[in-house]
Amino acid sequence: MIRTIRYIRRYDRLTPLLLAGVMAVAGCDFNVQNPGAILESDLNTIEAVNAIVTGMSSDFSEEYDGTAFVIARASDDMAGSGSYNTTNFYRMGIIQAEDVDGIWEGVQRARWVAEDGIRRLRDDIEGYAFDGNRLTARAYLFAGLSNRVIGESFCFGVVSASAPLGGGNETAQPNSEAFQRALNLLQSAVTQATSAGDDDLLMAARGGRAQAYVGLGDWTNAVAEAAQVPTDFVYEAIYSDNSGRENNEMWEETHQREEMSAFDTYIASFDPPDPRAPYTNCPQTMTCNVSGADGITPYWRQEKYPDRGSNIPVVKGTEMRLIEAEAALRNNDMVGGMNKMNEVRDFFELADLTATTMDEAWVHLDHERHLTLWLEGRRMHDLRRWDEENRGILPGVQFLRGELPLADDNLDPSISKRAACIPVSFSECLSNKNLTGTSACQ
C-alpha cells in the first residue's frame, strides 16, 4: 500500500493530464447545425405564407403530370413504346397496387398539403388576413382540385370523412366522397376568390366544381358551373425548366426518352394531326428517334408539351362546352349537344361536325373529349364512367373504351378486365390499418 501511494505521488502529475484529456473529449460541443431542413415551427410565421402556398402549387403540379403519364399509358391516349415494367402492365390493362405507390403518395400529399395548409393559414399564422386573401383562394383551389383528381382517377377516395381539412383516421371512401369534398373546398375557393377579386381563380374554381359535379353525375349543377367559364379560359398546372422538380414529366418521357407513342392510336388517324393533339411521325420526318424505347414500336412523338416547361391544362373552357354538350345529349338534345361540340371546334378553327342519330352524336362526343383533353390525365375517367353507364344509361353506344389489343404476352391470363381506375397504393394499404381487409385493399 505504501508502495502504491509512493507511485501515485511520483506520477501524480499524470492523473490531471489524463483527466484533462477525458474532459476535453467530453466537453466538446457536439451540437451540429445542418442547413437545408425546414422545421415545423418555421412555417408558422407570416413570412412563410407565400412559400406554403407555392408548395401547394408545386406539389399539385408534381403529381398532376405523373397521374397523366399513368393514365395516358393505361388508357387509349397513347401506345406503350417503352421498357418500363409498368408500361407493359398498363398496356395490358393491369394496374397493380404495388406499382402506383408514387402516384398515390403524390396525389395524397398534394391534397394534404393544401388542406393542412389552409388550416395552418387560418389557425397558426399570426397576422395573416385569411378571408378575402388571394392566397387563401388559391389554397382552397388546390385542395379542391386535388380531391377532384382523386375522385376521377382512383378507385377509392381515402380521406378522413370527419375532418374537412387535413385529417387523421383516414378511411376508404367511395369516389363520390372525394368529389363532394372537392365541391366543398372549391366553393370556399369561389367565395375567397370573389372576395379577393381574382377572376382567374374564380373561374378555375367554378370549372373544378363542374368537373366534380360530372363525377357525381349531377348534370344540372355541372352545366350551371360550366356555363360561367368562357371557352377560351384555361387554368394550368405550372411547369418550368427552372428545376428538375418543376419539369413536365410528360415531356421527359416522350422527348427525353420514348416511353409512349401516338402510333396506332385514335390520335394517329389524323394526318395532319388535329391541332388539339399534335404529334411528330418520327419514322417519316426522321427528326427524332424512329422507334420507341422498346426498340419495336414506331415512335410518334407527342408535341402537345414540346418542352419541359409546358404547362398542363387543369380546367379549361373547351371542356366546359363539352360538359354542356354531354348534358344536352343526356337530355336527348342532339342538336344542342352538337352545337356545343362545334363551339369547341370553332375555337380550334376546325370544321363543324354533324350527326343524324344520337349514337353518332355520342361517338362524336367521345372523340371530341378524347382530342380536347388528350394527355391531360382525364381519359380514364371518361372510359370508366361511360363503361359503367354503357351497362345502363347508354346501351348500344360503341366507344373507344380503351380496349386496345392486349400486348402479346399477357402475364396473367386470368386478368381479363382492363383497369379503369388506379387502385389504392400498396403503401397506403400497408400503413393505413383502417384499410386492412376492406375492398380498397383486396
Partner 1 sequence: MYRRFVNSVGRRLPLLAGALALALGTALPASAQQTGSVRGTVTDAVTGNRLVGVRAEVVGTTNQARSGNDGTFQLQDVPAGQVRIRVLAVGYSALTRTVEVGANQLATLDFTLRRVAIELDELVVTGTAGEVRRREIGNAVSNISAADIEVAPVGSLDEVLKGRAVGAVVMGSFGQVGGASTIQLRGTSSVMMSNTPLIYVDGVRLNSNFAPQSDEVGNSINPSQDINPEDIERVEVVKGAAATTLYGTEASAGVIQIFTKRGTSGAPAWSFSMEQGVKTLGHVGPKVGDDILPTADEAGSAELAQLAQDYAATGLFLNDCREADPEGCPSDGSFLRNGHKQRYNLSVRGGTDQTNYFISGRWTSEEGVIAPQGSDEWGVRGNFGFKPVPSLDIRYNSSYSHRDIKWIPDGDNAEGFLLNAFRRENGYTPADNDALILDMRLNQSVDHFVTGVQTSWVPIPGFRQRLNVGLDWQRSEYSEERPFGYFRVPAGDRENDTYQSRNLTFDYAGTWEARLGANVVSNFSWGGQVYEQQTRRLNAFGEDFGLPGAKKDIDAAALTSAAEGIVDLTSGGFFFQEMVGIWDQLFLTAGIRWDGFSTFGEDFGLAAYPKFSASYLISDNGFWPVWWDELKLRSAVGWSGRAPGTFDATRTWDAIAGDDGNSGVTPSNPGDPGLGPEKTREFEIGAEGTMFGGRASFEYTYYAQKTFDALVGVQQVPSQGFVSQQLRNVGTIRNRGHEVALNVVAIAMPKLDWELGLRYGNNKSNAENLGGEILPIRGSAAVDVREGFPVPALFGPKLKDPTAVGDGAIDRCSVPDNRAEFDSDPDACGYLGPNMPVWSYGISTRLTLNRRVTLDALGEGQGGHYISLGTARQTVRRNVWPECVGVRQRVRAGDVGNLTAEQQALCANAPTFIDWGRKANFFRLRHVTLSYRLPERWLPQFKNITVSVSGKNLFLIAPDFRGLDPEAVEDPNQAGSNSSGAGVGFRYSYYNMPVPRDIVFKIRADF
356 is a site residue for partner 1 (CB under 8 A): no
Q: What amino acid occupies position 233?
A: F
The single residue listed with the C-alpha cell 399513368 is: 70
Of the candidates 389, 388, 369, 387, the one whose C-alpha atom is nearest the C-alpha of residue 379 is 369
Determine the interface stretch with partner 1 among 19-27, 174-182, 206-214, 340-348 (rule: CB under 8 A): 19-27
Binding-residue pattern over the window 87 to 126 for partner 1, x denoting contact by CB under 8 A? -x-------xxx--x--xxx-xx-xxx--x----------
CA 305 vs CA 1, 49, 202, 247, 254: distances in Å: 90, 31, 26, 11, 9
For position 439 contacting partner 1 by CB under 8 A, the verdict is: no
* Phi, psi for 11 (deg, rounded to 5): -115, 25
Region 372-391 residues binding partner 1, contact defined as CB under 8 A? none
Integer Cα distance of 260 and 6 in angstroms: 87
Q: Under the criterion CB under 8 A, does residue 44 sit at the interface with partner 1? A: no
**Rounded Cα distance, 112 and 139, in Å:** 11
Distance from C-alpha of 379 to C-alpha of 370, rounded to nearest angstrom = 7
Piece in contact with partner 1 (CB under 8 A), picked from 50-58, 191-199, 350-358, 381-389: 50-58
Residue in 68, 165, 293, 314 binding partner 1, rule: CB under 8 A: 293
Question: Looking at beta carbons only, is 69 or 362 nearer to partner 1?
Answer: 69
> Can you read off the three cell numbers belonging to residue 243?
428545376
Residues in the chain: 442
195 versus 291: smaller Cβ distance to partner 1: 291
For the bound state, the minimum distance from the C-beta of residue 226 to partner 1, rounded and expressed in Å, comes to 27
Which span sits near partner 1 by CB under 8 A: 47-55, 127-135, 358-366, 373-381?
Answer: 47-55
**Distance between CA 372 and CA 428 in Å, rounded?**
33
Q: How far is the CB of 394 from partner 1 (least distance, A)?
A: 33
Binding flag, residue 58, partner 1 (CB under 8 A): yes
Q: Which residues pair with 171 in a beta bridge?
A: 159
The Cα 321–Cα 324 span in angstroms is 5
Closer residue to partner 1, CB minimum distance, 28 or 351? 28
Interaction residues for partner 1, span 248-277 (CB under 8 A): 256-257
Residues in region 61-90 near partner 1 by CB under 8 A: 61, 83, 85, 88
For residues 252 and 305, what is the distance between their CA atoms, to the nearest angstrom? 10
DSSP three-state, residue 431? helix
φ, ψ of residue 330 in degrees (nearest 5) = -65, -25
Instruction: Examine residue 231 and tell whether it contacts partner 1 (CB under 8 A).
Output: no
Nearest CA-CA partner of 297 in 78, 67, 66, 77: 78
How many Å is the Cα radius of gyration of the chain?
A: 28
**CB-wise, 160 or 175, nearer to partner 1?**
160
Stretch binding partner 1 (CB under 8 A), from 16-24, 228-236, 329-337, 360-368: 16-24
Out of 5, 129, 335, 393, the residue judged to bind partner 1 by CB under 8 A: 5
Q: Which of 131, 199, 241, 388 binds partner 1 (CB under 8 A)?
A: 241
Subset of residues 146 to 185 that bind partner 1, contact rule: CB under 8 A: 158-160, 166-168, 170
Question: Which of the residues 302 through 341 are near partner 1 (CB under 8 A)?
Answer: 309
Smallest distance, Å, CB 39 to partner 1?
6
Distance of CA 288 to the CA centre of its chain: 28
Q: Provide the minimum distance between the beta carbon of 354 and partner 1 in the complex, in angstroms, as a whole number.
A: 42
Residue 162 identity: S
Q: Is 34 in the site for partner 1 (CB under 8 A)?
A: yes
